[in-house]
Amino acid sequence: MSFEGKVALVAGAGGGMGLQIASDLIAEGVHVSLVDIKDKPAFPDGPGKGTYHQGDVTDEAFVKQAVSATVAAHGRLDYLVNTTGVLWFDRDKSCTEMDMDVWDRVMAINVKSFALTIRHCVPEMLKSGGGAMVHFASVDAMRGDSSPQDAYGASKAAVVRLSKSVAVQFAKKGIRSNSILPGAVHTPMQARWDNKQEVLDAIADWVPIGRVGTTKDMANACLFLLSDKASYITGTELIVDGGIMAKP
């Protein structure tokens, strides 16, 4: 997979899957704008160039500025990766009982931010002759839950639908859009698993492939979908869950 000289914007790159993806792209020679509200993390210094833009991706003015700065620095934009997301176990509950202000904020972070990055990246991708996008949803988009986080699940289902729509709109103009649905992955979002080996062992036993997913698993799938090796793949979702969704 050849990425050298390409330019990417990775939203949610302050940690977890986004940081892993950005780091792997930089290592492949991609110039990457890492975007997040968090403080700047450590990431590789080359062969691609990484630039950190700190701000709120639900703020359209900030998103527009980050995209403009990326194009100004590198002259083009080829890839967009959306990994931004929150999962608030203490506040995100059944829609029959949760505070709807929490619902609105989850939707803004998990869906609106994706719409904003797409809105401002697509015109620049068209100028570059096309591009590819990967949007991170979740297997929660495909199932219910007796211990629900309804705003999170609904937002991730919306990501799948948004990605499909964008894929159809821009397929003939050389832009591909796909979504990845992770399963059980140990990231900062799942800090409740930290230092709890018995919990991790139980989850690994539940996953058919026998282990908890890693950020590297997600990055490998993402780089494939961005690459020219996936040039005939658009408007679909790739489940990366170790076989969870195949279980009865």
Q: Is 27 helix (H, G, I), strand (E, B) or coil?
A: helix
Catalytic residue from among 52, 79, 152, 232: 152
Amino acid at 24: D
d(CA 220, CA 29) in angstroms, rounded, equals: 15
Amino acid at 93: K
Contact assessment for residue 239 and residue 245, using Cβ atoms and an 8 Å cutoff: yes
CB-based contacts of 71, cutoff 8 Å, min separation 6: 7, 77, 124
Alpha helices, DSSP H only, in the chain?
Answer: 16-27, 60-74, 100-107, 113-127, 150-170, 197-206, 215-226
Q: Is 232 a catalytic residue?
A: no
Q: Which helix (H) or strand (E) holds 81?
A: strand 79-82
d(CA 22, CA 58) in angstroms, rounded, equals: 20
The dihedrals phi and psi of 115, each to the nearest 5 degrees, come to -60, -40
- What are the residue numbers of the active site? 152
